[in-house]
Structure 1
Amino acid sequence: MLLPITLLVMAVALSPDAPANAQPNPDDLALVKEELARLQYLSFATEREYCGYLGETRDGLTVTPVVRGGHDGCTPVLPDSEMRLIASFHTHGAYDPDVPAEFPTAQDLLSDAQEGVDGYVATPGGRLWFIDGAAGHAVQICGLNCLPQDPDFNAGDDGVILQSYRLRDLLRMENSH
């Protein structure tokens, strides 16, 4: 059963500190990184987010068909019941100096927690983030230019980017703007 979003925010934001070493499975990471690298170019050209799921079937690891989202969000289509969901993945669209996009949002963490999966986020600067959905914690897997980078990207516009964020940190940042 899914928790109402306000209870989920409280439960995750008030939970003990998440481990600083949350890391994805190497096989999962390799497949998602390949998919996100491909999607980055589409995301920059269309100024849209793209998203999907990583899962496992009898035939092994696979990704769902990708969904084209909006300028500031994307909702992947849940696969059939024969796939065991592992993680969500999405791009953060094209570079926009007015939109902080170099780190996951609180909504990114909340969505993964609510669905009971981990997550991956690709940024316009080419960063790759791993979200530990159960812990409400995001870790930067690799920095600028790890994935394709938007040619219009201007490093530093989002300020100092930390190596990891907890949900409560992101909520505090978003509420201060």
Structure 2
Amino acid sequence: MKRQTAALLAALFLTACGAPTAGVPTMPKAGVQAQPAATGFSVVAPNAPSGPVVDNFARRFLNSIQAQSIRDRSEYCGYIRLSATGQLEATQPIRGTFAGCEMPAPRAGQGIIASYHTHGAFDQGYDNEVPSTLDLRSDFQFGMDGYVSTPGGRVWLVDVQTRTTRQLCGRGCVISDPLYQDTGDASIRPAYTLPDLQRRQGVF
């Protein structure tokens, strides 16, 4: 994505995914990283549901948009929220680019519980089987969880309470890219902290 201005950052929630692998020519990644908000800030209502009920909804929904995301070689992003009747629902997916996705910044009172986004199609030049550092920072900024699906069919939870990300389910638990190559799978941990990802992706 192109570098964003301060005014645009105030109106957009950014996910920059698939951090390029060191030494490999890649598409440009986002030039701006969101900074964590004040401790305790959250757009999520205190009584909002969490845990397996939301995890399972997120996994099913991401599975439903995986094939399109892979075909388009584009990320898709949006929010999981509570409807007016208290049911879980996902906002209409927004199509991003190969390496990122932009959507309106969440606000308190909108019923938002978490973000979601896909990592699109497989590409050897991108480390997109794990969330990016900006994925974590963006969710942490708004005090909410996030869900990320990968080309290999993994689903990750960005957990704002523990400030970590962990695999909810592994390789092939949602639709995966038929062209996916598992040569890097041995290096993928079940969980990461932000410093872990910074070291893995060389981003500080």
Q: Name the TM tier (shorter chain).
A: 0.7 to 0.9
Map of 1:37 onto structure 2: 63
Higher RCO (CA 8 Å, separation ≥ 6 residues): 2
**How far apart in 2 are the matches of 1:80 and 1:167?**
24
1:69 aligned to 80, 96, 99, which one? 96
Aligned length: 161
- Deviations along 1:34-93, one digit per CA (max 9) or x if unpaired, are 110011101110000001100113312111111000111112335686532111010011
For normalisation by structure 1, the TM-score amounts to 0.81
Unmatched segments (≥5 aa) in structure 2: 1-9, 11-32, 40-49
Equivalent position SS for 1:76: strand
- Deviations along 1:157-176, one digit per CA (max 9) or x if unpaired, are 36510000000111122227
Map of 1:142 onto structure 2: 169
Letter of the 1:56 counterpart: L
For normalisation by structure 2, the TM-score amounts to 0.71
Runs of 4+ aligned structure 1 residues displaced above 6 Å come to none
User: Identity across aligned pairs (percent)?
Assistant: 36
Kept in 1: contact 2:129–2:150 (CA 8 A): yes
Kept in 2: contact 1:103–1:123 (CA 8 A): yes
Equivalent position SS for 2:114: strand
Q: Is the counterpart of residue 155 in structure 1 residue 182 in structure 2?
A: yes
Matches within 5 A, 1:66-105: 66-78=93-105, 83-105=110-132
Letter of the 1:74 counterpart: C
- Deviations along 1:100-127, one digit per CA (max 9) or x if unpaired, are 1111111000000012110000000000
Kept in 1: contact 2:106–2:142 (CA 8 A): no
Kept in 1: contact 2:80–2:88 (CA 8 A): yes
Q: Is the counterpart of residue 58 in structure 1 residue 84 in structure 2?
A: yes
**How far apart in 2 are the matches of 1:160 and 1:81?**
38
